[in-house]
Chain A
Amino acid sequence: GDSVTQMQGQVTLSEDDFLFINCTYSTTWYPTLFWYVQYPGEGPQLLLKVTTANNKGISRGFEATYDKGTTSFHLQKASVQESDSAVYYCVLGADSGYNKLTFGKGTVLLVSP
């Protein structure tokens, strides 16, 4: 079945630091990769969607791409802010009939001022 491995459980940065979160995926379907963000007390919300390998998704200063050869995808931001503190999930979307999403375990991002 589909699977996602999210490498970092927690990342601690200072404001204006560079953020990089990496995941690997496994699927027999043609993948779409998502990044979801979850703030305390809320449900996950879509941050980025990348439908084609090596294409870049951009939103709110975040960038994401995926590499089909290495089955990896990553999220980056050049300069994080304290307001970016949240849990970030890499998510695999497969071409199954019910649009199944497979979530990684999440990365807790803590940004100190």
Chain B
Amino acid sequence: EAAVTQSPRNKVAVTGGKVTLSCNQTNNHNNMYWYRQDTGHGLRLIHYSYGAGSTEKGDIPDGYKASRPSQENFSLILELATPSQTSVYFCASGDGGQGRKEQYFGPGTRLTVL
């Protein structure tokens, strides 16, 4: 049974519109992450969270907000979507605390901004 799920799986939005991508995890992990994947760039970190109520900026946060209302849920919000935000977005969860730990990824959301 999938431990990290994302919705929607595909989304078409208009420039200037608001987009919300949702992620749910059943791993009971403290940390959650949002990445985008673009050809030639691998995965790049947008926002992350240590737990409910916390959000932190990653490497490319401009144009994105995040929300972590509970341990299980983490949302990525594009207040004013632009065509440059067309990409595939992945959510991940991972253990908190010290050490170098793996992350577990969802299936991705393909976002197209027209």
**A interface with B by C-beta (< 8 Å):** 6, 31-32, 34, 41-46, 49, 51, 89, 93-95, 97-101, 103-106
Contacts and interface: CB of A to CB of B under 8 A. Distances in A.
Q: How large is the interface on B (under 10, 10 to 19, 20 to 34, 35 or more residues)?
A: 20 to 34
A47 B97 CA distance: 22
A103 B43 contact: yes
Given A44-B105, A45-B105, A99-B95, A93 B42 contact: no
B102 to A, nearest CB: 5
A98 B48 contact: yes
A95 B102 contact: no
B96 to A, nearest CB: 7
B98 interface: yes
B107 A41 contact: yes
Nearest to B94: A99
A6 B43 CA distance: 13
A62 to B, nearest CB: 15
B33 to A, nearest CB: 8
B79 interface: no
15 contacts: A6-B42, A32-B100, A41-B108, A43-B90, A43-B105, A43-B108, A44-B90, A46-B102, A89-B43, A98-B56, A99-B94, A99-B96, A99-B100, A101-B103, A106-B42
